């Protein structure tokens, strides 16, 4: 390797804005870059952003929130509520978590100290809870923030403890240093929360913009200094290298065209394709094409350097999964989260028990709670500190299908003017034995995740019997354990499921189609006692069956089709499916 950085090849002057009559003819001419106006500088920094030092990649924000990891779900909701508050200048509050990707991932690792977070943010909110005040490390970080306000005049009064209930009702003692500070009251009975936040941020509304301007200047100067050290000869060398590469590629195309070589390649590969191993369709190669292939890649007949877990996958498969992910969202209310997916023209399918746990009153799903503004589905939730986009939020108007035995419910989404629904799944199929299955979910209300290549499981004769016997010997009540595990409308498999993943979409990638096939909905895991607060060693877990279960979408469709009252729903779903006629193909 030459030791050159890719910035030496990126610094192509023709792509930098010509502004104020000064054209950046060569990146080694420092004055040309310094002659750019603000817009040109902004484009310049954006183009070479990845070459900034890790700390310079971190942006500026209004608030960073310090919290205990066990409170993530509640804290993230608090962050979202903050980010929906509009200030007097028309912009919304920008709040981030202290360990969120804006402050950490973007910079390539954790910031060395909380001081860096203070530099980027106007306020530090400390989300207090019983677990936070009992954790020595969290208390230390809180005290460090407090000390910063004492010794840094610019940060006076910028630390605020967040209380989730009135002081007399708190079940923990507020640390002494934080107890003297003015708190943020964040609980349902406080109707002044939004106005208090607006008043607090409006009082220092220009501070973030001022920091951003200073940061922009530092970033720009850093990149100019870095690029100006690149000799002109490096650019010429890069262009020459590119020309040679293009010439070699054109020569290769000509040879392949002459020999009429289409897809035959003399390279052994271990790439897994839909559960099989890909080999060249021909046993030999002719003429020049074979020579070229063996020249660039030395064949190997072993996999000495593979990971212990061989999970490599075709990018084709991931493109299909990415397409399916647009249909998947997570349903939430203040107390519970789950996963589900779009079907038909205006419907959302999820596990019935998810909706039941959110809304049930006297063991009946409460339609009023379901229709409340606190209960909704969010699509395109992809990163931990992502701003909530109203365009991706939808509420519910009715229940159009419900089956307690299958544990499936389909809800009608509320349509809004100039707001379109995400696409529905376009295919429903049975699972083919030679195809891969992926789970797309929002476990624990987290950003969307994919569990690749789940393993289907076939129940063995004595699995349940042996598991119950072992559990009973440990004093566990096994009367209702593994109930419904043999239901033929459902399927067993191994995946990385967690709370909040119920209702997740199972997608089959078939080598005969470039579209995602909806095949199952994740429902639960077995045994029941794993959901209880019982600790088991790894050795213990070898004594009983641990497996997940989902309902087959083909069974759900068959159930709807068999009942006349669902004719309109079936017809609506049919209109969105591409090849329903192939639902039974094996």
3-state SS, 311-371, equals CCCCHHHHHHHHHHHCCEEEEEECCEEEEEEEECCCEEEEEHHHHHHHHEECCEECHHHHC
Q: Is residue 118 part of a domain?
A: yes
Taking Cα atoms as reference points, which of 240, 247, 292, 231 lies closest to residue 266?
292
The whole domain housing 281 covers: 240-296
Q: DSSP E strands: which ranges in 117-186?
A: 121-127, 159-163, 184-185
Residue 307 lies in a domain: no
For residue 12, is it within any domain? no
Q: Which of 321, 284, 309 is nearest to 449 (CA)?
A: 321
| 505 in Cβ contact with 339 (< 8 Å) | yes
Asked if residues 78 and 186 have their Cβ atoms less than 8 Å apart, the reply is: yes
Q: Do 118 and 261 fall into the same domain?
A: no
Helix (H, G, I), strand (E, B) or coil at 507: strand
Alpha helix locations (H) across 52-91?
Answer: 72-83
Q: Write the CATH number for 505.
A: 2.40.10
**pTM tops 0.85:** no
H or E element at residue 273: strand 272-273
Q: Has residue 361 been placed in a domain?
A: no
Q: What is the pLDDT of residue 6?
A: 47
Conformational region of residue 418, where left means phi above 0, alpha means psi within -120 to 50, and beta covers everything else: left
Regarding whether 260 and 153 lie in a shared domain, the answer is: no
Same structural domain, 261 and 117: no
pLDDT at 323: 92
Same domain for 201 and 262: no
Let me know: does 393 contact 372? Beta carbons within 8 Å.
no
Distance from chain centroid for Cα 364: 33
Separation CA 347–CA 345 (nearest Å): 6
Output the pLDDT for position 259. 47
**pLDDT for 424:** 95
SS (H, E, C) 550-572: EEEHHHHHHHHHCCHHHHHHHHH
173/167 Cα distance (integer angstroms): 9
Q: For residue 542, is it within any domain?
A: yes
Q: What is the mean pLDDT of each run of 10 residues along the chain (586 residues)?
A: 46 40 36 59 79 80 89 89 88 85 55 66 90 83 76 77 89 83 87 89 82 86 74 50 54 52 38 36 38 39 54 85 94 88 96 93 90 92 85 93 96 87 92 88 89 89 91 86 92 84 93 88 89 76 91 96 94 80 41
Q: Which two tokens stand for residue 198?
A: 């607006």
Do you know the residue count of the chain? 586
Phi/psi at 126 (5° precision): -110, 110
Find the helix or strand (DSSP H, E) in which 45 lies.
helix 38-47
User: Got the DSSP string for 83-97?
Assistant: HT-B-TTSPBP-EEE
Are residues 158 and 85 located together in one domain of the fold?
A: yes
Strands (E), 167-247: 184-185
Distance of CA 455 to the CA centre of its chain: 22
pLDDT of residue 35: 53
Strand order in the sheet with 95-97: 95-97, 61-66, 121-127, 159-163, 184-185
Same domain, 244 and 207: no
Residue 527: is the preceding peptide bond cis (ω within 30°)? yes
Helix axes 38-47, 207-228, angle to 10 degrees: 70
- CA-only gyration radius of the chain, Å: 29
Instruction: Tell me, yes or no, whether 279 lies in a domain.
Output: yes
Give yes or no: residues 268 and 205 share one domain: no
Residues 101 and 244 in one domain: no
Tokens at residue 82, please? 């903050």
409 burial (CB, 10 Å; 0-12 / 13-18 / 19+) is: buried
Contacts of 163 (CB under 8 A, 6+ apart): 128, 170, 174, 183, 184, 185, 186, 187
Cα dist from 157 to 201, 204, 503, whole Å: 12, 12, 45
CB atoms within 10 A of CB 386: 19
Q: Which two tokens stand for residue 365?
A: 């799903």
Query: Which single residue is written with the structure tokens 């209960």?
Result: 375
Do 204 and 249 fall within a single domain?
no
Per-residue confidence (pLDDT) for residue 254, from 0 to 100: 55
Q: What is the helix (H) or strand (E) element at residue 256, kind and residue range?
A: helix 232-259
Does some domain include residue 159?
yes
Angle, alpha carbons 458-463-466 (nearest 5°): 175
Residue 400 CA: distances (Å) to CA of 211, 412, 560: 52, 6, 11
107 and 206 housed in the same domain = yes
| Dist. CA 56–CA 291, nearest whole Å | 48
Give the tokens for residue 138. Answer: 């969290």
- Taking residue 525's Cβ as centre, other Cβ atoms within 10 Å add up to 19
100-117 core/surface letters (b: 16 or more CB in 10 A; e: else)? bebbbeebeeebeebeeb
Q: Are residue 189 and residue 71 in the same domain, yes or no?
A: yes
> Domain with 80 in it: what CATH number?
3.40.50.10140
Write down the residue that tokens 């919304």 correspond to: 92
| Cα separation, 548 vs 521, whole angstroms | 11
Spatial CA neighbour of 149 closest among 125, 184, 175: 125
Task: Please tell me the predicted confidence (pLDDT) of residue 319.
Answer: 92
C-alpha to C-alpha distance for 159 and 176, rounded to whole angstroms = 14
CA distance 63 to 75: 13
- pLDDT at position 249: 57
Q: Looking at the domain assignment, is residue 563 inside a domain?
A: yes
Predicted pLDDT at 174: 87
CB 438 within 8 A of CB 311: no
The count of structural domains within the chain is 3
Determine the 3-state secondary structure of 403 from DSSP: strand
Answer yes or no: do 78 and 206 share one domain. Answer: yes
- Residues sharing a CB contact under 8 Å with residue 470, sequence separation 6 or more, in sequence order: 543, 544
């Amino acid at each position: 390797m030459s030791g050159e950085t890719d910035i030496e090849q990126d610094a192509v002057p023709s792509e930098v804005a010509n502004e104020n009559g000064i054209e950046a003819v060569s990146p080694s001419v420092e004055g040309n870059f310094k002659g750019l106006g603000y817009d040109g500088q902004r484009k310049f920094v954006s183009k070479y952003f990845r070459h900034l030092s890790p700390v310079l990649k971190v942006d500026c924000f209004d608030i960073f929130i310090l919290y205990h990891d066990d409170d993530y779900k509640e804290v993230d909701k608090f962050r979202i509520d903050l980010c929906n508050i509009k200030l007097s200048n028309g912009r919304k509050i920008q709040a981030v978590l202290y360990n969120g990707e804006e402050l950490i991932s973007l910079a390539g690792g954790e910031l060395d100290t909380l001081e860096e977070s203070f530099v980027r943010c106007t306020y530090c909110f400390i989300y207090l809870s019983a677990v936070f005040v009992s954790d020595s490390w969290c208390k230390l970080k809180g005290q460090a923030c407090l000390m910063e306000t004492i010794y840094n005049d610019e940060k006076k009064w910028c630390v605020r403890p967040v209380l989730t209930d009135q002081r007399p009702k708190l079940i923990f003692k507020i640390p002494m240093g934080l107890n003297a500070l003015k708190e943020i009251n964040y609980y349902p009975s406080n109707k002044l929360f939004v106005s208090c936040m607006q008043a607090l941020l409006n009082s220092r509304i220009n501070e973030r913009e001022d920091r951003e301007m200073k940061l922009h200047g530092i970033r720009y100067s850093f990149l100019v200094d870095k690029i100006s050290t690149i000799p002109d000869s490096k650019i010429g060398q890069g262009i020459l290298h590119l020309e040679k590469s293009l010439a070699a590629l054109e020569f290769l195309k000509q040879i392949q065209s002459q020999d009429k070589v289409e897809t035959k390649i003399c390279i052994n590969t271990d790439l897994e394709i839909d559960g099989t191993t890909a080999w060249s369709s021909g046993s030999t190669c002719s003429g020049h094409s074979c020579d070229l292939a063996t020249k660039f890649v030395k064949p190997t007949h072993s996999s000495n350097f593979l990971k212990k877990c061989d999970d490599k996958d075709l990018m084709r498969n991931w493109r299909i999964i990415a397409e399916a992910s647009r249909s998947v969202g997570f349903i939430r209310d203040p107390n519970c989260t789950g996963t589900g997916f779009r079907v038909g023209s205006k419907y959302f399918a999820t596990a019935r028990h998810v909706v039941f746990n959110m809304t049930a009153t006297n063991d009946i799903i409460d339609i009023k709670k379901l229709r409340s503004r606190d209960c909704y589905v969010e699509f395109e939730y992809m990163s931990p500190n992502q701003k909530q986009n109203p365009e991706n939020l939808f509420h519910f108007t009715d229940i159009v299908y419900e089956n307690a035995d299958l544990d499936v419910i389909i809800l009608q989404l509320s349509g809004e003017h100039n707001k379109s629904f995400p696409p529905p799944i376009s295919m429903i199929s049975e699972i083919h034995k030679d195809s891969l299955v992926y789970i797309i979910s929002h476990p624990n209300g987290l950003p969307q995740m994919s569990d690749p290549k789940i393993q289907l499981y076939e129940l063995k004769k004595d699995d349940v019997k042996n598991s119950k016997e072992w559990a009973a010997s440990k004093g566990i009540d096994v009367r209702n354990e593994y109930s419904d595990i043999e239901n033929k409308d459902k399927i067993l498999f191994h995946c990385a499921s967690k709370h909040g993943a119920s209702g997740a979409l199972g997608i089959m990638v078939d080598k005969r189609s470039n579209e995602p096939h909806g095949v199952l909905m994740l429902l639960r895991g077995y045994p029941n006692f794993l959901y209880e607060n019982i600790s088991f060693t790894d050795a213990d877990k070898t004594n009983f069956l641990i497996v997940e279960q989902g309902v087959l979408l083909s069974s759900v469709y068959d159930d709807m089709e068999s009942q006349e009252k669902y004719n309109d729903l079936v017809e609506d779903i049919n209109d969105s499916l591409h090849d329903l006629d192939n639902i039974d193909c094996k």
